[in-house]
Amino acid sequence: MSTDDQTPAPETSVPTCYRHPGRETYVRCTRCDRFICPDCMRDAAVGHQCVECVAEGNRGMRKARTVLGARGSSSAVPVVSYTLIGACLAAYLAELASWQVVWDFMMLGRAVLPDGTVGGVAEGEWYRLFTTMFLHQRGGTFGIAHILFNMWALWAVGPSLEQVLGRWRFLALYVLSGLGGSVLLYLVGAPNDAAVGASGAIFGLFGAFFVIGRRLGSPVGPIVFLLVINLVITFGVPSISWQGHIGGLVVGAALAAAYAYAPAARQRVIHIAAPVLIFALLAVLVLVRTADLTSAT
């Protein structure tokens, strides 16, 4: 006696990649269990994952930070450094177009301007404390050398500091260093002493580079040599404002020390508080000097 065999034949279809249906594969993603071909495989701690699972996992990961708390990677473009260079070059072109730019925005305590009016920080023009760091000596051999050296220095040390500090810490370092130079000139200089230049901010970067280099165990010999040479020039050339250089150097080194040596548990708080406190101190000194100058008239 015979009977018809109604048992279905075993399935012989070969699995294919979920992203490439024409490619046969027996490998599954360890997260979603879908079949993936070699082009879609990404190495994982165990087995392989598909590109979608890897992307999903990366979205949930925290970005790596430097020792000083900056986010990003070594390939990040130093946007702040390049922007500052561009701003200084644009300001220099404006200076060449008109002397008025220099008179209106240079650092000046209190003096009679060419138009006969009295101007300066003591007259409420506090913005001069900041705008002067974007100006340079107008024209001539010294003027060209002035802006070229400062922009070279910013290009040479700025990107490295910006990478390890992050954009906002670096910007605070630059601006407060420049402000420190202006404030020291305002405090100890004659009311009619005038100055222009990013040198205070640049000296602040030099000081910060030294402090952070020591903290990270990097070679600091070249920056020490550069600092010594510039300090010799600062005190050897009568027309250079030593107050701007020293003020910037002190503020830059102090802020960098706060950045570099803040305890890990309180790093974020100190990195915010340090520039705020330094700015507050400089503001108080400006108010005291302004009160002194205005009460004497």
The C-alpha torsion from 265 through 266 and 272 to 274, rounded to 10°, is -130
Distances (CA, A) of 282 to 19, 74, 178, 216, 288: 61, 33, 11, 29, 10
pLDDT band at 9 (very low <50, low <70, confident <90, very high): very low
Is residue 12 over pLDDT 70? no
| Active-site choice (136, 199, 241, 271) | 199
| Active-site choice (48, 136, 146, 245) | 245
Does the annotation mark 20 as catalytic?
no
What pTM did the predictor assign? 0.77
So what CATH class is 79-295?
A: mainly alpha
Distances (CA, A) of 246 to 145, 171, 240: 20, 19, 11
pLDDT band at 141 (very low <50, low <70, confident <90, very high): confident
pLDDT at 265: 86
The C-alpha torsion from 276 through 280 and 282 to 286, rounded to 10°, is 150
Contacts of 127 (CB under 8 A, 6+ apart): 105
* Secondary structure E strands in the chain: 42-43, 48-49, 107-108, 111-112, 118-119, 194-195
Domain locations along the chain: 14-54, 79-295
Does the annotation mark 146 as catalytic?
no
Choice between 76 and 241, residue whose per-residue pLDDT is larger:
241
